[in-house]
Amino acid sequence: MNTIFLKSLLCCCSLLLLTSCVITRYDTRSAMVEATNLSYIATTEVSVGDWMVYMMSTSFTDSKKPISLGDHYDKIRSKLPALGPGRWDNFAINAFLRKSEENVAIHFSNDCKDLVLTVSVPKTAWDSIREFKLMDLPIVGITYEQAMEYIKYKQGVWNSCFKARDTFRYECFLPTPEQFQIVQTKLDSTNALGCNMFNYVNSLCPDCPNGEKFLKDPIFNKTGMEPTYVGSYFPDAFGLYNFKGNVAEMTSVKGIAMGGSCMHYASEAFDGRRQTYVGLAGWLGFRVWYRRIPKT
């Protein structure tokens, strides 16, 4: 199994930009594995952090001066997911739309490590985003059309970043249902102790070794009801995280997703089972697939 990996970076420094504003940096992550002939798959679902970088990359020019996204709502509204109260992923995105007297300036960078934009966010909100790793939750509440726009963006970024661009190019895509099924591996929904192996409906087990810890965790206590981190649970034989459960993943066929989700029974994640959708859903996300096409 071959893995291509670009490390993410999330760090803080004490450099003061404004009286009430310190600088923090957030870099998107990219990692993929070879799954089938000439096809590669992102190891994780597209995250909130990935989506934020995309949204900023395609909406603004480079700027070192912090901006407030809330001041540019009309410019970004077509790329925003459906937002509502009560969910951590929505909390993270909504935080960037709010204003505060005490802010943190976040430097967002893309896969090329190019500075995309510096955005201000309330410090108390960013403290929660960082502590609970909210940028690592999967992006949901988006439409098929929004996902396809992200796919186009990702293809452009990858073809501009890497040394191999002189010998081959990347084509990014969503898989057909048949392609998705080929990569599905056999995996029991529970282990020998009866504990869940991925995030499916009602899968949180309080009596499992980590059950009490999960019940006290603000993210994992939503297991079986809401998505959890894109890198949670063990990877499958290909090295893919959450290829079963967590969020159902869009295919190239609009209205058809696969892999099951936190709102589907474990059996929905196996044997080519399909989940249908209309519009958007809080259990629906996607991941990027790649082809490497040699240049002639």
Report, as an integer, the average pLDDT of 249-270: 97
d(CA 167, CA 173): 20
The pLDDT of residue 294: 85
The pLDDT of residue 17: 32
pLDDT in tens, 115-141: 778 899 999 999 999 999 999 999 999
Q: Same domain, yes or no, for 204 and 253?
A: yes
Residue 158 falls within a domain, yes or no? no
The pLDDT of residue 36: 74
Residue 71 falls within a domain, yes or no? yes
Instruction: Indicate whether 15 pLDDT > 50.
Output: no
Instruction: Indicate whether 173 pLDDT > 50.
Output: yes
Q: Same domain, yes or no, for 116 and 8?
A: yes
Q: Same domain, yes or no, for 24 and 125?
A: yes
Q: Same domain, yes or no, for 234 and 120?
A: no
Q: Domain range for residue 127?
A: 3-136
Q: Same domain, yes or no, for 120 and 30?
A: yes
The pLDDT of residue 49: 94
Q: Same domain, yes or no, for 66 and 189?
A: no
Instruction: Indicate whether 21 pLDDT > 80.
Output: no
d(CA 121, CA 109): 16
Instruction: Indicate whether 100 pLDDT > 60.
Output: yes
Amino acid type, 262: C
3-state SS class at 31:
strand
d(CA 75, CA 54): 13
Report, as an integer, the average pLDDT of 134-156: 97
- In this structure, the number of other CB atoms found within 10 A of the CB of residue 20 comes to 13
Number of domains, the chain = 2
Q: Same domain, yes or no, for 123 and 237?
A: no
The pLDDT of residue 23: 54
The pLDDT of residue 6: 34
φ/ψ of 81, rounded to 5, equals -75, 170
